[in-house]
Structure 1
Amino acid sequence: MMLALSVGALVAGAAYLMLDRTFLRVVIGFVLLGHAVNLLLFSSGGILRRTEPLGSEPDPAVTADALPQAFVLTAIVIAFAITVYMLVLAVTGRADEEAQAEGDGEAAAPDAAETDAPNTDGRTGAAPRSTDEESRA
Protein backbone atom coordinates (compact mmCIF):
# COMPACT_ATOMS: atom_id res chain seq x y z
CA MET A 1 0.00 0.00 0.00
CA MET A 2 2.84 2.39 0.79
CA LEU A 3 4.40 1.78 -2.61
CA ALA A 4 1.12 2.64 -4.35
CA LEU A 5 0.82 5.86 -2.35
CA SER A 6 4.41 6.76 -3.25
CA VAL A 7 3.73 6.21 -6.94
CA GLY A 8 0.56 8.30 -6.70
CA ALA A 9 2.33 11.15 -4.92
CA LEU A 10 5.15 11.16 -7.47
CA VAL A 11 2.71 11.20 -10.41
CA ALA A 12 0.69 14.02 -8.82
CA GLY A 13 3.82 16.08 -8.21
CA ALA A 14 5.04 15.41 -11.73
CA ALA A 15 1.73 16.47 -13.26
CA TYR A 16 1.72 19.67 -11.20
CA LEU A 17 5.28 20.57 -12.23
CA MET A 18 4.76 19.69 -15.90
CA LEU A 19 1.82 22.08 -16.16
CA ASP A 20 4.03 25.04 -15.23
CA ARG A 21 5.47 27.25 -17.96
CA THR A 22 9.02 27.27 -16.56
CA PHE A 23 11.08 24.76 -18.50
CA LEU A 24 13.19 23.75 -15.52
CA ARG A 25 10.06 22.73 -13.60
CA VAL A 26 8.97 20.66 -16.58
CA VAL A 27 12.32 18.85 -16.46
CA ILE A 28 11.94 18.22 -12.71
CA GLY A 29 8.39 16.97 -13.33
CA PHE A 30 9.72 14.61 -15.96
CA VAL A 31 12.29 13.27 -13.49
CA LEU A 32 9.57 12.68 -10.89
CA LEU A 33 7.43 10.91 -13.48
CA GLY A 34 10.39 8.70 -14.39
CA HIS A 35 10.84 7.73 -10.75
CA ALA A 36 7.13 6.95 -10.44
CA VAL A 37 7.24 4.69 -13.50
CA ASN A 38 10.35 2.96 -12.16
CA LEU A 39 8.61 2.22 -8.86
CA LEU A 40 5.54 0.99 -10.72
CA LEU A 41 7.62 -1.33 -12.91
CA PHE A 42 9.57 -2.58 -9.92
CA SER A 43 6.40 -3.29 -7.96
CA SER A 44 5.02 -5.39 -10.82
CA GLY A 45 7.64 -8.02 -9.98
CA GLY A 46 6.05 -8.71 -6.61
CA ILE A 47 8.38 -7.20 -4.03
CA LEU A 48 6.75 -8.62 -0.88
CA ARG A 49 6.24 -12.27 -1.76
CA ARG A 50 9.46 -12.85 -3.70
CA THR A 51 13.11 -13.37 -2.82
CA GLU A 52 16.26 -12.55 -4.78
CA PRO A 53 16.33 -13.73 -8.41
CA LEU A 54 19.65 -15.56 -8.08
CA GLY A 55 20.91 -17.86 -5.36
CA SER A 56 22.38 -21.30 -4.67
CA GLU A 57 19.14 -23.22 -5.25
CA PRO A 58 16.41 -20.82 -6.32
CA ASP A 59 12.84 -22.02 -5.82
CA PRO A 60 10.75 -20.95 -8.83
CA ALA A 61 7.70 -20.32 -6.63
CA VAL A 62 9.38 -17.58 -4.58
CA THR A 63 12.12 -16.34 -6.92
CA ALA A 64 11.68 -12.76 -8.07
CA ASP A 65 11.07 -12.12 -11.73
CA ALA A 66 14.15 -10.55 -13.27
CA LEU A 67 12.29 -8.96 -16.20
CA PRO A 68 10.83 -5.98 -14.26
CA GLN A 69 14.27 -5.33 -12.81
CA ALA A 70 15.75 -5.28 -16.31
CA PHE A 71 12.95 -2.93 -17.42
CA VAL A 72 13.71 -0.57 -14.52
CA LEU A 73 17.42 -0.55 -15.36
CA THR A 74 16.62 0.27 -18.98
CA ALA A 75 14.12 2.95 -17.95
CA ILE A 76 16.70 4.56 -15.65
CA VAL A 77 19.23 4.83 -18.47
CA ILE A 78 16.69 6.21 -20.94
CA ALA A 79 15.27 8.70 -18.42
CA PHE A 80 18.77 9.91 -17.58
CA ALA A 81 19.60 10.48 -21.25
CA ILE A 82 16.35 12.35 -21.89
CA THR A 83 16.82 14.43 -18.74
CA VAL A 84 20.29 15.50 -19.84
CA TYR A 85 18.92 16.40 -23.27
CA MET A 86 16.09 18.43 -21.74
CA LEU A 87 18.49 20.26 -19.42
CA VAL A 88 20.66 21.19 -22.40
CA LEU A 89 17.56 22.53 -24.13
CA ALA A 90 16.66 24.47 -20.99
CA VAL A 91 20.06 26.13 -20.92
CA THR A 92 20.52 26.84 -24.62
CA GLY A 93 17.09 26.94 -26.21
CA ARG A 94 15.20 29.43 -24.07
CA ALA A 95 17.33 32.57 -24.34
CA ASP A 96 15.36 34.03 -27.26
CA GLU A 97 12.00 33.49 -25.62
CA GLU A 98 13.11 35.05 -22.31
CA ALA A 99 14.43 38.12 -24.10
CA GLN A 100 11.20 38.32 -26.06
CA ALA A 101 9.12 38.07 -22.88
CA GLU A 102 11.10 40.88 -21.23
CA GLY A 103 10.71 43.10 -24.29
CA ASP A 104 6.94 42.66 -24.57
CA GLY A 105 6.20 45.41 -22.06
CA GLU A 106 8.57 47.83 -23.75
CA ALA A 107 7.78 47.05 -27.37
CA ALA A 108 6.36 50.50 -28.10
CA ALA A 109 9.17 52.45 -26.39
CA PRO A 110 12.16 53.24 -28.61
CA ASP A 111 15.74 53.08 -27.37
CA ALA A 112 17.10 56.07 -25.45
CA ALA A 113 19.93 56.56 -27.94
CA GLU A 114 17.49 56.96 -30.80
CA THR A 115 15.24 59.50 -29.04
CA ASP A 116 18.04 61.85 -27.96
CA ALA A 117 19.83 62.22 -31.27
CA PRO A 118 18.10 64.44 -33.86
CA ASN A 119 18.16 63.20 -37.42
CA THR A 120 19.03 65.11 -40.55
CA ASP A 121 15.41 65.66 -41.50
CA GLY A 122 14.55 67.24 -38.11
CA ARG A 123 12.68 64.29 -36.63
CA THR A 124 13.72 62.69 -33.33
CA GLY A 125 13.33 59.07 -32.27
CA ALA A 126 13.23 57.53 -35.73
CA ALA A 127 15.72 56.43 -38.31
CA PRO A 128 16.32 58.90 -41.15
CA ARG A 129 14.22 58.25 -44.21
CA SER A 130 15.89 57.86 -47.52
CA THR A 131 14.06 58.55 -50.72
CA ASP A 132 14.79 57.13 -54.09
CA GLU A 133 16.37 60.40 -55.22
CA GLU A 134 18.79 60.44 -52.24
CA SER A 135 19.83 56.83 -52.78
CA ARG A 136 20.55 57.46 -56.48
CA ALA A 137 22.71 60.49 -55.81
Structure 2
Amino acid sequence: MKISTKGRYGLTIMIELARKHGEGPTPLKAIAREKNLSEHYLEQLASPLRNAGLIKSVRGAYGGYILAKNPGEITAGDIIRVLEGPITPVEGIEDEEPAKQALWIRIRDAVKDVLDTTTLEDLKDHEDDEQQDSYMFYI
Protein backbone atom coordinates (compact mmCIF):
# COMPACT_ATOMS: atom_id res chain seq x y z
CA MET A 1 0.00 0.00 0.00
CA LYS A 2 1.30 3.38 -0.94
CA ILE A 3 -0.11 6.45 0.80
CA SER A 4 -0.77 9.20 -1.75
CA THR A 5 -0.73 12.95 -1.21
CA LYS A 6 -4.42 12.69 -0.32
CA GLY A 7 -3.59 10.65 2.76
CA ARG A 8 -0.45 12.59 3.64
CA TYR A 9 -2.04 16.04 3.29
CA GLY A 10 -5.25 14.89 4.97
CA LEU A 11 -3.19 13.72 7.91
CA THR A 12 -1.45 17.12 7.92
CA ILE A 13 -4.81 18.90 8.13
CA MET A 14 -5.94 16.70 10.98
CA ILE A 15 -2.69 17.03 12.97
CA GLU A 16 -2.84 20.81 12.67
CA LEU A 17 -6.48 20.84 13.81
CA ALA A 18 -5.48 18.62 16.75
CA ARG A 19 -2.71 21.07 17.71
CA LYS A 20 -5.26 23.89 17.72
CA HIS A 21 -8.01 21.82 19.38
CA GLY A 22 -10.02 23.94 21.80
CA GLU A 23 -8.80 27.24 20.33
CA GLY A 24 -11.67 27.66 17.86
CA PRO A 25 -11.93 27.12 14.12
CA THR A 26 -8.81 27.02 11.96
CA PRO A 27 -9.06 28.14 8.33
CA LEU A 28 -7.50 25.84 5.75
CA LYS A 29 -5.83 28.95 4.34
CA ALA A 30 -3.72 29.19 7.51
CA ILE A 31 -2.68 25.52 7.31
CA ALA A 32 -1.91 25.84 3.60
CA ARG A 33 0.23 28.91 4.21
CA GLU A 34 2.07 27.42 7.19
CA LYS A 35 2.78 24.09 5.46
CA ASN A 36 3.28 25.54 1.95
CA LEU A 37 0.43 23.47 0.46
CA SER A 38 -2.34 24.24 -2.00
CA GLU A 39 -5.38 25.65 -0.22
CA HIS A 40 -7.62 24.41 -3.05
CA TYR A 41 -6.31 20.85 -2.63
CA LEU A 42 -6.82 20.96 1.14
CA GLU A 43 -10.42 22.10 0.56
CA GLN A 44 -11.00 19.02 -1.61
CA LEU A 45 -9.71 16.80 1.20
CA ALA A 46 -11.79 18.51 3.88
CA SER A 47 -15.07 17.42 2.26
CA PRO A 48 -14.65 13.65 2.75
CA LEU A 49 -13.23 14.22 6.23
CA ARG A 50 -16.32 16.27 7.10
CA ASN A 51 -18.67 13.70 5.53
CA ALA A 52 -17.01 10.98 7.62
CA GLY A 53 -17.70 12.96 10.80
CA LEU A 54 -14.03 13.61 11.60
CA ILE A 55 -14.18 17.41 11.25
CA LYS A 56 -16.83 20.11 11.37
CA SER A 57 -16.93 23.33 9.38
CA VAL A 58 -17.70 26.63 11.05
CA ARG A 59 -18.98 29.43 8.83
CA GLY A 60 -18.40 33.11 9.21
CA ALA A 61 -15.61 35.67 9.34
CA TYR A 62 -13.74 33.67 11.98
CA GLY A 63 -14.74 30.31 10.53
CA GLY A 64 -12.74 27.32 9.53
CA TYR A 65 -12.58 23.73 10.70
CA ILE A 66 -12.49 21.99 14.06
CA LEU A 67 -12.17 18.35 15.02
CA ALA A 68 -15.50 16.60 15.53
CA LYS A 69 -14.01 14.54 18.37
CA ASN A 70 -11.14 14.81 20.81
CA PRO A 71 -7.69 14.19 19.28
CA GLY A 72 -7.33 11.01 21.34
CA GLU A 73 -10.45 9.54 19.72
CA ILE A 74 -9.35 9.89 16.07
CA THR A 75 -6.76 7.48 14.72
CA ALA A 76 -4.48 7.74 11.73
CA GLY A 77 -6.34 4.70 10.40
CA ASP A 78 -9.65 6.59 10.47
CA ILE A 79 -8.16 9.34 8.32
CA ILE A 80 -6.28 7.11 5.89
CA ARG A 81 -9.33 4.89 5.27
CA VAL A 82 -11.51 7.91 4.49
CA LEU A 83 -9.03 9.36 2.00
CA GLU A 84 -7.29 6.26 0.61
CA GLY A 85 -9.82 3.44 0.99
CA PRO A 86 -9.20 0.03 2.56
CA ILE A 87 -5.77 -0.76 3.92
CA THR A 88 -4.38 -3.57 1.81
CA PRO A 89 -0.82 -4.05 0.55
CA VAL A 90 -1.79 -6.30 -2.38
CA GLU A 91 -4.89 -6.54 -4.56
CA GLY A 92 -6.36 -10.02 -5.08
CA ILE A 93 -4.76 -11.49 -1.98
CA GLU A 94 -7.18 -14.43 -2.06
CA ASP A 95 -5.63 -15.60 -5.36
CA GLU A 96 -2.11 -15.86 -3.93
CA GLU A 97 -0.47 -19.13 -2.90
CA PRO A 98 -0.80 -19.78 0.85
CA ALA A 99 2.77 -18.76 1.80
CA LYS A 100 2.54 -15.39 0.06
CA GLN A 101 -1.03 -14.89 1.23
CA ALA A 102 0.10 -15.34 4.83
CA LEU A 103 2.85 -12.76 4.33
CA TRP A 104 0.49 -10.18 2.83
CA ILE A 105 -1.99 -10.71 5.66
CA ARG A 106 0.76 -10.23 8.27
CA ILE A 107 1.90 -7.03 6.55
CA ARG A 108 -1.68 -5.74 6.30
CA ASP A 109 -2.36 -6.51 9.94
CA ALA A 110 0.87 -4.84 11.09
CA VAL A 111 0.09 -1.65 9.13
CA LYS A 112 -3.50 -1.64 10.42
CA ASP A 113 -2.25 -2.08 13.98
CA VAL A 114 0.08 0.93 13.72
CA LEU A 115 -2.54 3.13 12.06
CA ASP A 116 -5.34 2.09 14.42
CA THR A 117 -3.32 2.58 17.61
CA THR A 118 -1.82 5.96 16.65
CA THR A 119 -4.13 8.84 17.53
CA LEU A 120 -3.99 12.50 16.62
CA GLU A 121 -3.11 13.10 20.26
CA ASP A 122 0.05 11.02 19.73
CA LEU A 123 0.92 12.78 16.48
CA LYS A 124 0.26 16.37 17.53
CA ASP A 125 2.82 16.18 20.31
CA HIS A 126 5.44 14.29 18.33
CA GLU A 127 6.96 17.26 16.50
CA ASP A 128 7.24 19.24 19.73
CA ASP A 129 9.08 16.33 21.38
CA GLU A 130 11.57 16.16 18.51
CA GLN A 131 12.30 19.87 18.77
CA GLN A 132 12.82 19.66 22.52
CA ASP A 133 15.16 16.70 22.28
CA SER A 134 17.34 18.06 19.51
CA TYR A 135 20.52 19.39 21.05
CA MET A 136 23.70 20.36 19.30
CA PHE A 137 26.95 19.32 20.99
CA TYR A 138 30.36 20.61 20.01
CA ILE A 139 33.60 18.93 21.01
Q: TM-score, normalised by structure 1?
A: 0.32
Instruction: Identify the structure with bigger relative contact order (alpha carbons < 8 Å, sequence gap 6+).
Output: 2
The structure that is strand-richer by fraction is 2
The alignment's TM-score, normalised by the length of structure 2, stands at 0.32
Task: Flag the structure with larger Rg.
Answer: 1
